[in-house]
Amino acid sequence: MAASVTHHFKSPPGIWGSYARIVAGRKPRAMPAGATVPRMEAHLVPTRIDPDHLRRYAAICGVPRTDVVPIAFPHMLASGMHLAMLSSRAFPVSAMGLVHLRNRIVRLRAQDPAQPMALRTWLEGHRDTELGQEFELETEGTVAGEPIWRETCSFLARGERPPRARVLAAERARERERERAAAVGSEPLHTLHFAAPAGLGRRYAVVSGDYNPIHLYDLAAKPFGFRKAITHGMWSLARCAAEAGEADVTGPATLDVTFKAPVFMPAELVFESRAGQGSVLFTMKDATSDKPYLTGELRATTA
């Protein structure tokens, strides 16, 4: 069994060193045969939120209020720790080849921005799927020792699959999409058009600290397989959570998002939502082609 790896931080770590290791590294894009992911952890001592930072985040993500911490905001405090683990020698695949599949965020109670939050994040093992290997990066936020926020980020390292497996996977994906469409209904409750302009990736990077080159410039994104720069997935998630009404759900809540395709900038987008059973189901699409970029659900939950 591989030895565990633990990092401790007194302030949210920067990402430049992690990205330098990722870009310069020579790790494979898929799990080598027999490879394992050891237990990896990172810890951040209780940290206060800068009110100006929170206001700038709310402005770029369309969050209407800052008297409580937005549901996706703690992810930014943890992102440097995530990259420290994914860029370490112990993680067996290249982080640049990972595909962001899903996010689940569980807010156990609303957080006053003046309350310092401690963070713990961990990763261990993988799951073999038809598309490749999936990894789940777990994060927990606590205030005065009380857990108040949890997140699961699911990533994929693509592997080679026989053609039949690709067909079956595509059929299952289409069936899941039909089920979600049936649940949402044909008439959206709320429709909003907004843009992801060129340069959005750079503006969000200034706020989030995530300067991944695939989000900054077209030329920087092309070496990594993208024809143009793409939006940060966490910007799309936060923008949709705001439009889904996260400001109206100040108690316990769960946010589930599935990423369908990258958003190339500039883009004209459509947000559609409909009230479900105690929840809001939503989709973010391309305004021209109706192509879905992400689907999700925001629901109030019991404490």
CATH number at residue 165: 3.10.129.10
Which tokens in the block code for residue 225? 């397989």
Residue 298 pLDDT exceeds 70:
yes
What pLDDT, on a 0 to 100 scale, did the predictor assign at position 52?
A: 96
Give this prediction's pTM: 0.88
- Residue 13: pLDDT band (50, 70, 90) is confident
What pLDDT, on a 0 to 100 scale, did the predictor assign at position 28?
A: 81
Q: Is the dihedral of CA 230, 233, 234, 236 positive or negative?
A: positive
Q: Any idea what the Cα angle at residue 31 is, between residues 25 and 33, rounded to 5°?
A: 120
- Spatial separation of the C-alpha atoms in residues 293 and 286, rounded to whole Å: 7
- Spatial separation of the C-alpha atoms in residues 94 and 122, rounded to whole Å: 18
- Spatial separation of the C-alpha atoms in residues 71 and 253, rounded to whole Å: 8
pLDDT digits (tens, 9 = 90+) for 101-152: 999 999 999 999 999 999 999 999 998 888 888 999 999 999 999 999 999 9
What pLDDT, on a 0 to 100 scale, did the predictor assign at position 180?
A: 55
- Spatial separation of the C-alpha atoms in residues 181 and 42, rounded to whole Å: 39
What pLDDT, on a 0 to 100 scale, did the predictor assign at position 162?
A: 44
- The total number of structural domains that make up the chain: 1
- Most confident stretch, 86-100, 156-170, 223-237: 223-237
Residue 17 pLDDT exceeds 90:
no
What's the Cα-to-Cα distance from 15 to each of 110, 174, 297, rounded to whole Å? 28, 37, 30
- Spatial separation of the C-alpha atoms in residues 248 and 235, rounded to whole Å: 19
Residue 13 belongs to domain spanning: 5-300
pLDDT digits (tens, 9 = 90+) for 202-224: 999 999 988 888 999 999 999 88
Cβ atoms of residues 15 and 210 within 8 Å? yes
What pLDDT, on a 0 to 100 scale, did the predictor assign at position 160?
A: 57
